[in-house]
Structure formats: structure tokens, C-alpha cells
Structure 1
Amino acid sequence: MNNTRHAGLEVVFFNRVPKVGSQTFMELLRRLSMRNRFGFHRDHVQRVETIRLAPPDQLQLASMVSGYETPSVYVKHVCFTNFSQFSLPEPIYVNLVRDPVERVISWYYYVRAPWYYVERKQAFPDIPLPDPAWLKKDFETCVLNGDRECRYIEGETHEGIGDHRRQTLFFCGHEDECTPFNTIGAMERAKKAVEKHYSVVGVLEELNSTLTVLENYIPKFFKGASQVYWDEVNNFNRINRNAFKPPVAEHIKDIVRKNFTREIEFYQFCRQRLHKQLLALKLPSQTTS
């Protein structure tokens, strides 16, 4: 249950999944780096987020991370990168997951938030503004009208910043087999990567359990994580929060869930693993919330 002992590199590699609370988690790591005295490194903002990398780029990434002075943390939106296939020592892999349907709703409104495009235009002035009708379209209408954006077709492959349906992609890897949406193959590869390589995969909906497991399984980096998080929870919760996201009716979510079967199974797999890790600690008072 504890892959931390298998790591050959004292570097935490957080290949963060978008819209799972990863901005807050990254800020937690930054503050812990000052408290627990480790280096903090993150990828720079990109015009187009490159999640899947060709083998030479994977090697370049793994070599760069391996070159950091230890102990350190590195944070990047990227698929699982297997350092050992390049004969490099494995880092301490961590990540977070979220209910897949809640996550896709969050992403839908995130890319429509006014401040999102203000930030993008400031960073990249030549980026064109989107169609106002697209910005105003709500998720429920998108689903009920069967709009292309909200159909979530099994086996479909779509690259680019607009497609963040596949939470499994960040655990499956860079291979072509990982790209089709909601497939058994991608899900099974993602599960195997979590079991074999990841020290901890936290769950956004179960923060207490996540922080407790991190503190006990990776203490050098996460000592005091619960205290730091909850003492400053109001500040953390403001990071990347989208005030423009309206509530979505449960019957709409149920429609979407029918097309997220393998993504949901992978999410539940990660939840069960976290629960088992927590139980294995045999703490006097345990929580799974």
C-alpha cells in the first residue's frame, strides 16, 4: 500500500489533474516547502497545455526533474511519466482525483469564466475571444440539446485544451491507448499505474482522509499538512474558485453519468485505495471524509 519506499528519488512529482482542487493543493505544497524545507518547482504557464508528450520530451522532463536538488517537489499538468523506462530513479508520485461528472461540470464553467479569459489575454494578447453565445450557454442546455461539446462519446479521441473529460489519462500515460474516452483499456492501465507507482492518490471529496494519508505515507514532505490546510482553509478555498458556476440538476448529472462508467469506476478504485491506506495506519481516530 505504500509505494513511497520504492522511490529512488527524493522528489515529489505531482502531475496534477485539472479541476480536482490542484491549485489549492499546489499552494499547500508551496507553503509546506517553507515549513518542511524542500524545494518547490512548477511548470510555467503555457499557451496550449501539452499533456501528452513524445518519448524524447518525456525523457527531457524526467531528466530535468531528476536533476533537482533534493528534497524537492515538481508540479505540472502532464500524463503519468514513467521515469524507470528511461533508466532514471522513480520520484514519489502523488495526485488527486474528483467525481468525474462534477469535475467535467467544473471544467465546463471554468473555461467560460470572465476572469479566465482576462488572464489568458494578459498572458497571450493575440488569443481570439470566444463567441459570446458559447460563453453564455449553460451546461444543462448543452446536455439536453445534445451539443457536440456535451455528448461524451465512448472511444472518442480529442486532443487539446478543450477536452478534459478523461481523468484516467493523467494516470494511464502518454500512449495512444490512453486517449480514447471511457474505455476499459485506458481505465485498466490507469489502475495499474496507481497500484504500482503512486504513493498517494488523494480524493477531493475526502480531504481529511487525503491529508492524513499524505502525512503518514510521505511525512518528510507533508508533515503538518492538515494544520496548514485547515488553519488557512478560507484562503485556500478562494484559489481558483469559480463564482460563475451555477448548480446543475441531479437528473442532468445522471444523464452524463451514463457515459462516464469507466471514469467513475476508476474514481471509485482510487477512493477504495485511499480508504485501505487509511485503515492500514490503524490510527485511534480515523475518518473517511
Structure 2
Amino acid sequence: MGKKNKIGQKNKTGQKNNTSKSNKINEFLLFMHIPKTAGQSLRGVIKKQYNLEETYRCPFMEEEVVKLSDEFRNSLKFIYGHFLFGTHEYFPKPFTYITMLRDPVERFISAYYHILLVPTNRWHEKVKGMSLEEFIDSDDFNLQAEPNVQTRFFCGKEPLSLETAKKNMAEHFSVVGITELFAESLFLMKERFGWEEIQYRTKNAGKNRPKKEKVPQNVRDKIAAKNHLDIELYKYARKQFEEKIQALDAKTLQEMDAFKKSLSKM
């Protein structure tokens, strides 16, 4: 499993390995991908920074991670997937996390319409006859529609707690990006890790769904009430993020503006 292919040789998926590529990243990076937070777009950027054999799509199932050989684990520099905080314990080396957070009401609405409009989604058949309000009242859709799912990711196996989530965020995450400030989030990550070749396409975006403002206020209130911890965590993370931006010096702010303009031309 940890065996390396030659430079330029295709792996089993048909992709070429970029073993001649160098990067500036020394830390073991875990991208904790919370569903419906623009994670696929970000993942596409990050994977370009690493050689193919240094990356691993880490499954949510703990038993699958346990099966990995020590040799393979030690060869990795970047893992990504819908795993909870705490996955670093299976990879005993210096580490840091990154993730994205999204307005919880917007994220919940996006999750509903994604399941509703994507026939290949495993819950599509069950959800296609549900209204948004019925979806809110159901607890059958873990990870995508679980109440306070963003807080749950940060708490890992610990009991659900806003303080635990904040503590883990402060101690173990280099950057917690904000979906609504995606370009700024990408810039901070680029600066933190020395990323290059920053190009991306928006992936998995729900284009055929109503905006949050078009959803009746009473329905939005119902989503917010069910995700009250996520609401508080998002406010906290966004405040921290905006303060980080405000603390940048004038030169870096100019660089960020130029970076955002370059992205808008892609």
C-alpha cells in the first residue's frame, strides 16, 4: 500500500504521480472536511501541493484507518475526508488541522437540496418525498443533517460541547476558513503553508436551490434552533477569522486583494 510508483507513472486510478514536485510543507496536514462547506473545491487546491503517494482519503470508519500499515502512515503528508477531530491519534507525528465552517442555516439548506437533487446520493430515495421542514425534523441523516454537526466534528469522540469545540479549534487548527469568505480563507492557508499553483473550480455547488433568504423565516428559525451550538461556533470562528484579516499588515492586505482578483479571472 505504501509502495511508490516511478515519476510520471500512472497509478491505479489513472492519475500521474508528481514525485518531482517539491513543496514547502513539513507538518502532517489533516483536512477535516465538514460536508457542504466548499470542501471539495478546497481539496482540489490542496492535492496539487503534494505528491500523489503522500496523500490519503481518510474514511470516517475508524476500523479502516486501523488497518493501515505503519510504513504507509509514516509516508503520508496530507489526509482529507469526513473524519472527526482526533484522527491525528492514528498518525503519531507532528500535525495540524484545517477546515471550513459555513453559516449553519445555509449549510443545512444546502445539504437538503443536495440530497434532494442528486439521485446518486444514498439518502435521495428517502428525502425526495420530504419537504424541507420534514427534513429538519428527521434525525436519520448523520454528518449531513445531524443537529450541530459542525460542532460535532470539532468535538470528535468527546461529548458535544461548545467549549470543547473552541478548545480544539484554538489548540490544533492552523486555519479555520469561512465558506462565505472562501478567497480570503484560501489566501490565509496559502500563506500559512506556502502553497503554489492556486487554481480551483467550484465543485458540488447547489446551483438549483433557493437562497437562504428565499426560505420562509419560520423555517430558517427552526433550523437555527436545532443547530444552536453551530450558530455560536460559527459566530466565534468568523470573529476570529475577521480579526486575523484585520491584523494583516498593509503589504499583505494588498497581496490578498491581488490574489482575490486573480481568482475572479479564472
Normalising by structure 2, report the TM-score.
0.71
Cα distance change on mapping 1:187 and 1:63 into 2, 3 Å: farther
**Conservation of the 8 A alpha-carbon contact between 1:215 and 1:224:** no
Tell me which residue corresponds to 1:270.
Answer: 237
Residue among 51, 54, 57 paired with 1:39: 54
2:98 is the counterpart of 1:94: yes
Paired residues for 1:142-181 under 5 Å: 142=133, 147=134, 149-151=135-137, 160=142, 163-165=145-147, 166-175=149-158, 177-178=159-160
In structure 1, C-alpha distance between the alignment counterparts of 2:65 and 2:50, rounded to whole Å: 26
2:74 is the counterpart of 1:67: yes
Tell me which residue corresponds to 2:40.
Answer: 23
Which shifted more, 262-271 or 160-169? 160-169
2:125 is the counterpart of 1:130: yes
In structure 2, C-alpha distance between the alignment counterparts of 1:61 and 1:261, rounded to whole Å: 37
In structure 1, C-alpha distance between the alignment counterparts of 2:140 and 2:165, rounded to whole Å: 18
Residue among 205, 208, 213 paired with 2:188: 213
- Report the AA paired with residue 85 of structure 2: F
Cα distance change on mapping 1:92 and 1:269 into 2, 3 Å: same
Number of aligned pairs? 228
SS at structure 2 position matched to 1:167: helix
In structure 2, C-alpha distance between the alignment counterparts of 1:60 and 1:9, rounded to whole Å: 25
2:248 is the counterpart of 1:281: yes
SS at structure 2 position matched to 1:33: coil
**Conservation of the 8 A alpha-carbon contact between 2:35 and 2:143:** no
Normalising by structure 1, report the TM-score.
0.66
Tell me which residue corresponds to 1:246.
Answer: 210
Cα distance change on mapping 1:62 and 1:97 into 2, 3 Å: farther
2:202 is the counterpart of 1:195: no
In structure 2, C-alpha distance between the alignment counterparts of 1:265 and 1:25, rounded to whole Å: 24
**Conservation of the 8 A alpha-carbon contact between 1:10 and 1:91:** yes
2:81 is the counterpart of 1:76: yes
Tell me which residue corresponds to 1:182.
Answer: none
Unaligned runs of 5+ in 1: 1-7, 121-127, 179-185, 230-235
Structure with the bigger RCO (C-alpha within 8 Å, sep 6+) is 1
Residue among 30, 50, 65 paired with 1:13: 30
SS at structure 1 position matched to 2:48: helix
Unaligned runs of 5+ in 2: 1-24, 261-266
In the TM superposition, what whole-angstrom CA distance separates every residue of 1:170-215 from its partner, at most 9, and x where no partner exists?
Answer: 111123x13xxxxxxx211110001000011111001222122112
